[in-house]
Amino acid sequence: MLERQRIGLALLGIAAAVATLPAGAQATYDEPWRPQFHFSQPENFMNDPNGLVYYKGEYHLFYQYRCYESSCPAVGVSWGHAVSRDLLHWEHLPVAIPALGVEQVYSGSAVFDAWNTSGCGTVDDPPLVAVYTNAYTDPAVGAFGVQVQSIAASMDGRTLARYQYNPVLIEPRPDFRDPKVFWHAPSRRWIMAVAKPYDARVGLYSSPDLKSWTHQSDFGPLGATGTYPIRIWEVPDLFPLAVDGDPLDRRWVMVVSAIGQYHELGMGTVVGGGTQAFVGDFDGTRFVAEDRAEYATPSADWLDWGKDNYAGITFDNVPDGRRVFIGWVNNWEYAQQVPTSPWQGQQSVPRELTLRMIDGVARLVARPIAELAGLREGPVHSSGGGRVEGTRRLDVLGREFDIEAEFALGGAAQFGLRVLVGEGERTAIGYDVASGRVFIDRTQSGTAGTALSAFAGVHSAPLPARGGKVRLRILVDRSVVEVFANDGERVLTDLVYPGSESQGLELFALDGDVRLQSLNVWRMRSVWGGAPAQIPASPADTPPLPIACDAASAPVPPADGGSKSQPRVLGQGGAIDRRTLLAMLLALALAPGLRWTRKRAESRP
């Protein structure tokens, strides 16, 4: 998360801008611009997603929750909390890790400690362990530095108790935050990726128990490091993925959020932040990015090329092994001034990340999770096979859509769709043939947005028209527009603030025609059910007492025995040949401890 005082914004200055509910009031979830199928908190200010983890049958979404009124569940920067069984419908829970005086609770992650390595749970009932940054608002209080790493644990997925001997990781520097932790099976230890923001570096640390950490290496600076002094790397994530689903070709991906001044990217000048991705190899000690031209320049390989996706991370312990990502839909340039009330901030739809070989290079692609299609109604419009020239208004109105379109290039210089169309208002999603770029144009997306500093603009990403065709999937959710081009090869996310009457949908082609191969439009159901909501009060007047985390741990299995805390990944240190794979599978099948290993796996929540 952003230490704003270092770029001219006071850390606590956000207090004056936070939208709050009157005492006893509830959010209706039908306020102007309230997203209907994106997660948002009932009230106050939310930024980074934190602690994404699957634990005991539920997906947990913790998040940076800021509230500064005396009536707040916790005053300051805390971890908010929501749970879901399908990644779509969320139940709001009390604040999970509240701020305590000068001790603010900044971003971090959470893991399922399957073998109770931390000692915070039991062998038979392993804990959820959150790893987060403690930030001290008064540097004089932080005897170990302004920002340090701490842990908290939960046995029920609801109440988190701080570790008695926090902090667990200290560095002699004031900017040190956003730990992302995962279990690395080959080395049988935990790995933490943590940001060293003003160096544009990610520190990698290892631990056998989540409590004692050893520095292994640093990654960076590389790619988008920005222009000092507005140059920050934050919220790293590190994980393996198979290229095109091939278990014999595994690569590692380092995701880093970056704030700085980046020019000539097609994104405009980015100050408020974007998310970049590096593909490479991790051997348990060091991450090395592949030798690619775009990594050697500020023109990073952005995970999202829009203006409004930042600080995203992925879930730990997803049952089916998918790599699911959620990012904060906002931008620090105007996040405190957005016109929504009584809340500010929302998260992206969950996205499945995969590696796809594109033009001979393994690229990170993102698509909405398959579950999202379950919210569709219709289609309310289907067409295709004809030519479009000029503007064609469609016979459908609405503010919540899932749209799939495919175009074949013709003579048009630009083509695409316009959504949320009204009197003098529209948001265009299209393709510019000459530049070969997909774009979102929000220069006419409503006066409430364009009045914000640095808001109006056109944001674009390079995209080849493969086979002379361009495919677009567009999610429209009142104030959020997400675009997935060519099956997630490029992704853009932008906020928009049109009037409530701006509900039109139209096709366009400029300076020529384009063939519309297919178009399907679905209306999207709300996940909120229309019931008023608020963040529940904590069942206790004070946070739970700190815990010692000194219980016995289970024997950690060998590397080829897998781990409940992460789906087992073959060849995490690089590709392995088929003979080795067969030998490993045979050895596992004949292993005398197979029954014990299976019993542990079957006990997984």
* Tens of pLDDT, residues 468-499: 999 999 999 999 999 999 999 999 999 999 99
Q: Please tell me which residue, 570 or 142, carries the higher pLDDT value.
A: 142
Task: Please tell me which residue in 48, 113, 304, 316 is annotated as part of the active site.
Answer: 48
| 392-403 burial: b if 16+ Cβ within 10 Å, else e | bebeeebbbbbb
- What's the CA dihedral at 35, 37, 38, 39 to 10 degrees? 100
**Distance of alpha carbon 13 from alpha carbon 46, whole angstroms:** 15
**Distance of alpha carbon 43 from alpha carbon 63, whole angstroms:** 13
**Distance of alpha carbon 554 from alpha carbon 585, whole angstroms:** 24
Per residue in 233-262, pLDDT (tens digit) is 999 999 999 999 999 999 999 999 988 754
* Per-residue pLDDT at 554: 81
Per-residue three-class SS string for 102-152:
CEEEEEEEEEECCCCCCCCCCCCCCCEEEEEEEEECCCCCCCCCCEEEEEE
Band the pLDDT of 600: cuts 50, 70, 90: very low
pLDDT for 144 beyond 50: no
Radius of gyration of the chain (CA): 24
**Distance of alpha carbon 328 from alpha carbon 331, whole angstroms:** 8
Band the pLDDT of 84: cuts 50, 70, 90: very high
∠ CA 382-403-384 to the nearest 5 degrees? 30
**Distance of alpha carbon 83 from alpha carbon 319, whole angstroms:** 15
Q: What is the mean pLDDT of the chain?
A: 86
Asked whether 362 and 356 are in contact (CB, 8 A), the reply is yes
Name the most confidently modeled range: 138-152, 264-278, 449-463. 449-463
What residues contact 197, with CB distance under 8 A and at least 6 apart?
3, 175, 176, 177, 232, 233, 234
Band the pLDDT of 531: cuts 50, 70, 90: low
Report helix, strand or coil for 275: strand
Band the pLDDT of 301: cuts 50, 70, 90: confident
Stretch 87-97: mean pLDDT: 96
Stretch 151-169: mean pLDDT: 96
* Per-residue pLDDT at 585: 34
**Distance of alpha carbon 146 from alpha carbon 240, whole angstroms:** 32
The pTM score is 0.88
> What backbone phi and psi angles, to 5 degrees, belong to 450?
-65, -15
**Distance of alpha carbon 311 from alpha carbon 107, whole angstroms:** 9
Is residue 48 among the annotated active site residues? Answer: yes
Strand order in the sheet with 44-55: 91-97, 76-84, 58-67, 44-55, 343-344
Q: Please tell me which residue, 12 or 480, carries the higher pLDDT value.
A: 480
Least confident of 90-104, 391-405, 418-432: 90-104
Q: Please tell me which residue, 298 or 576, carries the higher pLDDT value.
A: 298
pLDDT for 536 beyond 80: yes
Least confident of 138-152, 176-190, 373-387, 448-462: 138-152
> What backbone phi and psi angles, to 5 degrees, belong to 245?
75, 10
| 409-419 burial: b if 16+ Cβ within 10 Å, else e | bbebebbbbbb
* Per-residue pLDDT at 445: 97
- The pairing of strands 147-154 and 161-162 is antiparallel
**Distance of alpha carbon 52 from alpha carbon 48, whole angstroms:** 11
pLDDT for 175 beyond 80: yes
pLDDT for 420 beyond 70: yes
Asked whether 416 and 472 are in contact (CB, 8 A), the reply is yes
Stretch 506-519: mean pLDDT: 98
Per residue in 41-52, pLDDT (tens digit) is 999 999 999 999
What residues contact 256, with CB distance under 8 A and at least 6 apart?
195, 202, 220, 223, 233, 234, 235, 236, 237, 275, 276, 277, 278
What residues contact 559, with CB distance under 8 A and at least 6 apart?
185, 186, 187, 188
pLDDT for 579 beyond 50: no
Query: Residue 179 corresponds to which amino acid?
Result: P
What angle, rounded to 10 degrees, do the helices at 578-590 and 594-602 form? 90
DSSP conformational letter for 94: E
Asked whether 564 and 601 are in contact (CB, 8 A), the reply is yes
Instruction: Count Cα neighbours of 526 within 13 Å in the Cβ-side half-sphere.
Output: 14
Stretch 341-350: mean pLDDT: 97
The residue among 52, 169, 40, 38 whose CA lies nearest residue 107 is 52
* Per-residue pLDDT at 295: 82
Query: Residue 342 corresponds to which amino acid?
Result: P
**Distance of alpha carbon 552 from alpha carbon 113, whole angstroms:** 13
Q: Where are the alpha helices (DSSP H) in 407-510?
A: 447-450
Band the pLDDT of 454: cuts 50, 70, 90: confident
∠ CA 444-450-454 to the nearest 5 degrees? 120
* Per-residue pLDDT at 439: 97
pLDDT for 563 beyond 90: no
The single residue listed with the structure tokens 């529940």 is: 536
What residues contact 399, with CB distance under 8 A and at least 6 apart?
420, 476, 477, 478, 500, 503
pLDDT for 604 beyond 50: no
* Per-residue pLDDT at 273: 79
**Distance of alpha carbon 62 from alpha carbon 76, whole angstroms:** 16
* Per-residue pLDDT at 533: 79
**Distance of alpha carbon 323 from alpha carbon 27, whole angstroms:** 32
What residues contact 101, with CB distance under 8 A and at least 6 apart?
none
* Per-residue pLDDT at 225: 62
**Distance of alpha carbon 323 from alpha carbon 331, whole angstroms:** 24
Band the pLDDT of 226: cuts 50, 70, 90: low
* Per-residue pLDDT at 430: 98
